[in-house]
Amino acid sequence: MKVFVASLATETNTFSPVPTDRANFLAAFYAPPGRHPATPTLCSAVFPSLRSRASREGFELVEGTATWADPGGLVQRQTYEALRDEILDQLRAALPVNAVVLGLHGAMVAQGYDDCEGDLLARVRALAGPDAVIGATFDPHSHLTPKRVENLDILNAFLEFPHTDFVARAEQVVDLTLRAVRGEIRPVISVFDCRMIDVLPTSQQPMRGFIDSLRALEGQDTVLSVSLIHGFLAGDVPELGARMVVITDNDPERGARLAREKGMDLFALRGATRMTQHGVEEALHLAAARVAAGATRPVVLADTWDNPGGGVAGDGTLILRAMLDAGLNDVGVATIWDPMAVTFCLAAGEGATLTLRFGGKSGPGAGDPIDATVTVLKAVTEAWESFGASRVPLGASSVVRIAGTRVDVILNTNRAQTFDPDIFSGLGIDIAEKKYLVVKSTNHFYAAFQPVADEILYVDAGTHYPSDARRTRYRKLSRPIWPIVEDPHAVEA
């Protein structure tokens, strides 16, 4: 038995002004054949899983390239085609194979390609042939197209958001693929279009219980795997939206019935799953009230939609501007992405005072640049923060204090979501002296900030991130979905 494995992944925010090219893949994660580390990445956990199965069971594993770019805007056409063809050439050289396993994200969009993964899978199928078993893992924040399903035998998505189960899901796809190659199962994929798009965190109810109910179905009778594709709000593609996926052992009727049943169960939860969000004014009012009441720890304001983890620039200034206007003091901001301003701070040097324009430069919608007299408290060529056990590079970074205040702002050159309070301490900001912290993250910051925060407030600052489908001008969406249409299941697609 011979199995080929590769991984090509990123999450494309088609509304983002930050283009994605090969340099973004090389900078984030790029492992040529045989060079994948022993540890998994989010979208390449099929590599270590297949390695251990191959060494235990004695089949031949041929490794292709594994690569990932941090979320950003549209992928350059040449970049996508070159990475795709690199993997296809590796597969061609490995033929014949019994199986192909791919670690995908599922929300990659390139210039001229709304469905990169569908394009890749169709080409993989054409090379590997109709008898090869093809399996793939997806991030649930993705788009499930018919082209992908047609060319796959096995697929699943992480059930958890945050994606704490990505290793277990990769192991499931590997296991089902190997069982299919050995003729132990005949997988059939059933998909139901839930015709909705929403934010579906599983760390809280009602999604916690819903995901548990999906997990309970796996392994019952003929049900091999159940997945929920959440969809990805920031991808303007025809298939945008949630899909329920059930894989059965040759039991398409039961698969279709279950997918519809659970899909409609999810539809019934629409609008009830998000974290509570505040507008800027309301959030600042609530935060100031906590401070006035004698909070001994900082109030954390999460700028949920100016989160580089969702592909935006992360140079938004709306919350900081409002805090300055409101006269709030003792503030720490992590971070505002501004490579030009960091260059200026490095040139001016630590201790220097200068007039600086920072933030709000990448495009409209996230606030105007801030012009201020600042003192450079810190200017370094490399900085980082923790994310669990891993280190996230911030690139060259500086800390500026706005004149006449104790408002300290971290400026960075690598777009990075805020994950950990050590982003502040690493750059000399003592959060014990701060009353307010502003972070750029939707939910991944929560675990590390919760223990040091008086309170956490999620803020919808009104940035241009397409967080509300009703207000987003999707041009390619091809069918009715909630919340754009109140009852899309009553409408002919």
What residue ranges bind Zn ion (CB under 5 A)? 139, 141
Cβ closer to Zn ion: 156 or 398?
A: 156
Query: In sequence order, which ranges of 144-203 are alpha helices (DSSP H)?
Result: 146-151, 166-181
Helix (H) and strand (E) counts in the chain = 13, 17
Q: How is the chain split among helix, strand and coil, in percent rounded to 5?
A: 30, 25, 45
Give the helix ranges, DSSP H, for 269-376: 280-292, 318-325, 339-348
Specify the DSSP class assigned to residue 112.
T
* Residue of minimal Cβ distance to Zn ion: 141
Interacting residues of 141 by C-beta distance below 8 A, sequence separation 6+: 11, 105, 106, 107, 161, 230, 231, 232
Residue 311 or 395 with smaller CB distance to Zn ion: 311
Instruction: In angstroms, give the least distance from the CB of 140 to Zn ion.
Output: 6
* CA dist 424 → 204, 320, 413, 434, 459 (Å): 28, 16, 16, 11, 20
List the one residue out of 404, 335, 410, 343 whose CA is nearest residue 374: 404
Residue 196 or 427: the one with the smaller Cβ distance to Zn ion is: 196
We find the least distance from the C-beta atom of residue 242 to Zn ion, in angstroms, to be 13
CB nearer to Zn ion: give 397 or 417. Answer: 417
- Minimum distance, C-beta of residue 176 to Zn ion, in the bound complex (Å): 21
Contact 396, 346 (CB under 8 A): yes
Nearest to Zn ion of 141, 143 (CB atom): 141
**What's the farthest any 2 CA atoms get from each other in the chain?**
73
H helix runs in 152-251, sequence order:
166-181, 207-217
Residue entry with tokens 């093809």: 134
Nearer to Zn ion, 197 or 438 (CB): 197
Residue type, 217: L
Quick one: 233 or 427, whose CB is closer to Zn ion?
233
SS3 379: strand
Contact status, residue 275 vs residue 458, Cβ threshold 8 Å:
yes
Task: Give CA–CA dist 224/465, Å, rounded.
Answer: 37
Our CB check for Zn ion shows the closer of 157 and 438 to be 157
| Length of the chain, in residues | 493
